[in-house]
């Protein structure tokens, strides 16, 4: 096996708070191990276009507390083609880069798997996505910050809902995963949570709204964006069933991606960044570093990208029990 001397790191897919902490950890662990470290700008797009810059300890100073990603991120159609990946390989060969660390979600790891298969380049992945929709880690980098942002926003909406006796339908992020909706729903005392993993039983929800305390002054329904109906339809259905309710829709949108990463995301990204570089040096490749029950573990990309249904039905039961 060829000794690794030069590594490069990139962030890909949607940005997630904590990616900067991950980049910092990779760069500094690389330097600590006498490696040369490069940063690839704008994900696979920058890899294909050769936007690769040397990094030093100073270049990642003062970023651990910042949201977004200092390397920027992008989606790349070119990297999905063999020609694009060949160009990417030529770019890293020119600089003598022996191995990569990619921070992203399932698409990022799918692309990395192809790159390894075709060009035999060692790659380790770090789970960077607010959706927490990867197997092989209890939490992805960015998820904790995102749910705390949602909780903060819903608490604020609750104040106005309470003051005006309103029903608020709040749409949160999660195209394929209802984890942001479910956790934030429990922690904001939502009356109901609608997620893509479970079929909506509208009758049950309407009955629950009907049966709930008549003197409730506010009601919050959280809907994941990937839910079959989406927030707008849910709000319309509630209006139809309860014409006397003052129903409002709020789509939280991109505020959920930004902001200072939480302590948990910074520590998670730091641990996984260190583990990724050490894993590469131990000969690992084609795996994602994750944290399972507090321990770092490596999971092959093809298993990590399987969208395991992490929905714990006990959590949906809790929403129902506590919404009396």
Q: Confirm or deny that 75 is annotated as ligand binding.
A: yes
Give the integer Cα–Cα distance in Å for 23 and 31: 12
Q: Following DSSP, what letter does each residue of 77-140 receive, concatenated? A: SGGGSHHHHHHHHHHHHHTT--EEEEEE-HHHHHHHHHHHHHH---EEEEEB-TT---TT-SS-
Q: Following DSSP, what letter does each residue of 155-179 receive, concatenated? A: HHHHHHHHHHTEEEEEEE--SS--H
Q: Which of 310, 257, 312, 265 shows the shortest CA–CA distance to 291? A: 265
Minimum distance from residue 286 beta carbon to ligand ATP (Å): 14
Q: Confirm or deny that 105 is annotated as ligand binding.
A: yes
Minimum distance from residue 305 beta carbon to ligand ATP (Å): 8
Positions in the binding site for ligand ATP (CB under 6 A): 12-14, 44, 75-76, 79-80, 104-108, 110-111, 114, 129, 131
Instruction: Tokens for 305, please give them.
Output: 């990208």
Q: Which residues are catalytic?
A: 131
What are 233's strand-pairing partners? none
Instruction: Tokens for 138, please give them.
Output: 């209890």
Q: Confirm or deny that 108 is annotated as ligand binding.
A: yes
Q: Confirm or deny that 175 is annotated as ligand binding.
A: yes
Minimum distance from residue 145 beta carbon to ligand ATP (Å): 14
Q: Confirm or deny that 250 is annotated as ligand binding.
A: no
Q: Which is nearer to ligand ATP, 39 or 84 (CB)?
A: 84
DSSP code for 141: B
Collapsing DSSP to helix, strand or coil, 42 comes out as coil
CA distances from 310 to 139, 238, 307 (A): 10, 28, 8
Per the CB < 8 A criterion, the answer to whether 40 and 10 are in contact is yes
Q: Which is nearer to ligand ATP, 191 or 287 (CB)?
A: 287
Q: Which is nearer to ligand ATP, 72 or 75 (CB)?
A: 75
| Torsion of Cα atoms, 88 then 73 then 291 then 278, to 10° | 40
CB atoms within 10 A of CB 66: 18
Instruction: Tokens for 112, please give them.
Output: 């990395």
Q: Which is nearer to ligand ATP, 108 or 137 (CB)?
A: 108
Minimum distance from residue 83 beta carbon to ligand ATP (Å): 12
Q: Confirm or deny that 85 is annotated as ligand binding.
A: no
Q: Which is nearer to ligand ATP, 104 or 185 (CB)?
A: 104
Minimum distance from residue 82 beta carbon to ligand ATP (Å): 9
Q: Confirm or deny that 183 is annotated as ligand binding.
A: no
Minimum distance from residue 66 beta carbon to ligand ATP (Å): 18
Q: Which is nearer to ligand ATP, 133 or 171 (CB)?
A: 133
Q: How large is the angle between the packed helices 313-322 and 179-187, nearest 10 degrees?
A: 30
Binding residues for ATP: 14, 75-76, 105-108
Residues marked as binding for substrate? 129-131, 166, 173-175, 225, 248, 254-257
Q: Which residues are annotated as a binding site?
A: 14, 24-28, 75-76, 105-108, 129-131, 158, 166, 173-175, 189-191, 216-218, 225, 248, 254-257
- Numbered residues of the known binding site for Mg(2+): 106
């Amino acid at each position: 096996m060829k000794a690794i001397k030069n590594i490069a790191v990139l962030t890909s897919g949607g940005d997630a708070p904590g990616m900067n902490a991950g980049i910092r950890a990779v760069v500094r662990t690389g330097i600590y191990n006498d490696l040369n470290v490069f940063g690839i700008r704008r994900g696979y797009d920058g890899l294909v276009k050769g936007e690769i810059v040397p990094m030093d300890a100073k270049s990642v100073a003062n970023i651990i507390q910042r949201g977004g990603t200092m390397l920027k991120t992008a989606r790349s159609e070119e990297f999905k083609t063999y020609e694009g990946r060949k160009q990417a390989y030529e770019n890293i060969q020119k600089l003598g880069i022996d191995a990569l660390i990619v921070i992203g979600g399932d698409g990022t790891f799918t692309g990395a798997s192809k790159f390894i298969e075709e060009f035999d380049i060692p790659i380790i992945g770090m789970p960077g996505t607010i959706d927490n929709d990867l197997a092989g880690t209890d939490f992805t980098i960015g998820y904790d910050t995102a749910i705390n942002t949602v909780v903060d926003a819903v608490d604020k909406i609750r104040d106005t809902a309470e003051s005006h006796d309103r029903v608020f339908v709040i749409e949160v992020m999660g195209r394929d995963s209802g984890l942001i909706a479910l956790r934030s729903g429990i922690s904001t005392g939502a009356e109901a949570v609608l997620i893509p993993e479970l079929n909506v039983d509208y009758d049950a929800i309407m009955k629950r709204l009907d049966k709930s305390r008549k003197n409730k002054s506010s009601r919050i329904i959280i809907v994941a964006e990937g839910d079959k109906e989406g927030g707008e339809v849910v709000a319309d259905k509630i209006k139809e069933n309860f014409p006397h309710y003052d129903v409002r829709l709020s789509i939280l949108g991109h505020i959920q991606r930004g902001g200072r990463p939480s302590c948990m995301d910074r520590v998670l990204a730091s641990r996984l960044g260190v583990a990724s570089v050490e894993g590469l040096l131990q000969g690992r490749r084609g795996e994602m570093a994750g944290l399972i029950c507090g321990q770092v573990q490596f999971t092959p990309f093809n298993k990590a990208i399987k969208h395991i249904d992490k929905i714990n039905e006990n959590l949906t039961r809790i929403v129902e029990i506590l919404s009396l």
